[in-house]
Amino acid sequence: MSERVSWVPEGVDTGRPSAARLYDYLLGGGHNFAADRALAEKFLQAQPNARTIARLNRAFLRRAVLFMMDHGIRQFLDLGSGIPTVGNVHEIARKADPEARVVYVDFEDVAVAHSQLILEHDPLAAIVQEDMTRPDAVLLAARDSGLIDFEQPVGVLTAGVFHFVPPEAGAEAIVAAYRDAVPAGSYLAVSQFTQDLQPEEMAGIVEVMKKSQNPMHPRTKSEIAALFAGFELVEPGIVPTPLWQPEGANTDDPDKAGIYAAVGRKL
């Protein structure tokens, strides 16, 4: 039997698990359903470190946003933003500049609906319901929001989303479209699952996610590097999430991070 609560749009099949709600569950959020939790438990069986991986990915997003803020970025395009949890991009950015602007992009109905509730009275942040693999539609919606000035540098964020883009969709061409839409001095942040780290566990995750709306496609370090064509990687390059510009002492095992992370600056 499907669950139904007030913030779930009509027509959403809550009995069919989604990656956005699974991630919410792993982060300790409350916007997930029985089917998502059941899938998450299988995910945890394949990768017992999954909660830590999710936390490390979220922490990378925070550091990447703050890095971009330190380098003059005041507007962000967050692709595949998912279900809002504590530590959203606009919350992070506003601590550095109260006027920072954010356009979130997601196509999952629950993620969009809850984002709309959170951002209802925020004139400097918006959610658009589009598929990030359709950059023309996303860029048009971002322009129409009035929040992104594409004549000024933009921080393009893709945290934990490109592993849902299959090889045949052409991830490099998708990133290139966003790259070409922003001026020099813009930044791109990428984090995504890789088979280079814990390949046996990664194979198990791939198998589990075949049962969801969002099959997973891990990439090698070289395949992730290809996404940064036209960008100069900032130090330390493409590394496991806990190694990307850590704050203070780092006690997390990078070999168990599961996800590579990197930030690049458009030349």
Q: What secondary structure does DSSP assign to 177-238, as a single string?
A: HHHHHS-TT-EEEEEEE-SSSSHHHHHHHHHHHTTSSS------HHHHHHTTTTEEEPTT-S
Q: Note whether residue 71 is domain-resident.
A: yes
Average pLDDT over residues 189-212: 95
Residue 141, domain CATH: 3.40.50.150
Q: Note whether residue 229 is domain-resident.
A: yes
Distances in Å between the alpha carbon of 152 and those of 69, 74, 76? 13, 9, 11
How far apart are the C-alpha atoms of 248 and 183, rounded to whole Å? 33
Give the per-residue pLDDT at 4.
46
Average pLDDT over residues 229-245: 98
Q: Note whether residue 75 is domain-resident.
A: yes
Q: Note whether residue 112 is domain-resident.
A: yes
**Helix (H/G/I), strand (E/B), else coil: 77:** strand
Domain that holds residue 115: 53-195+215-266
Q: Which two tokens stand for residue 28?
A: 């300790």
Q: For 143-160, what is each residue's pLDDT tens digit?
A: 999 999 999 999 999 999
Q: Note whether residue 247 is domain-resident.
A: yes
**Residue 56's closest CA among 243, 225, 184?**
243
How many domains in the chain?
1
- Decide: 46 and 205 in contact? Cβ < 8 Å: yes
How far apart are the C-alpha atoms of 21 and 35, rounded to whole Å? 10
Query: What are the helix (H) ranges across the chain?
Result: 19-26, 34-46, 50-70, 89-96, 109-119, 135-144, 171-181, 199-209, 221-226
Give the per-residue pLDDT at 8.
67
Q: Note whether residue 114 is domain-resident.
A: yes
Average pLDDT over residues 178-196: 98
Give the per-residue pLDDT at 87.
77
Neighbours of 116 (CB within 10 A): 16
Residue entry with tokens 């925020």: 122
Average pLDDT over residues 91-111: 94
The DSSP element (H or E) to which 106 belongs, if any, is strand 101-106
Give the per-residue pLDDT at 2.
46
Q: For 247-256, what is each residue's pLDDT tens digit?
A: 987 789 999 9
Alpha-carbon Rg for the chain, nearest whole angstrom, is 17
Q: For 2-58, what is each residue's pLDDT tens digit?
A: 444 555 666 667 788 888 888 889 999 888 889 999 999 999 999 999 999 999 999
| 48 Cβ contact list (under 8 Å, min separation 6) | none
pLDDT band for 134, please (50, 70, 90 cuts).
very high
How far apart are the C-alpha atoms of 233 and 245, rounded to whole Å? 13
pLDDT band for 224, please (50, 70, 90 cuts).
very high
The overall average pLDDT reported for the chain is 93
Residue 150 main-chain phi, psi, to 5 deg: -80, 5
Q: Which two tokens stand for residue 118?
A: 């959170």
How far apart are the C-alpha atoms of 147 and 157, rounded to whole Å? 16
pLDDT band for 118, please (50, 70, 90 cuts).
confident
pLDDT band for 1, please (50, 70, 90 cuts).
very low
Q: Note whether residue 28 is domain-resident.
A: no
- Look at residue 161 and tell me whether its pLDDT is greater than 60: yes
Give the per-residue pLDDT at 5.
52
Q: Note whether residue 245 is domain-resident.
A: yes
How far apart are the C-alpha atoms of 217 and 127, rounded to whole Å? 26
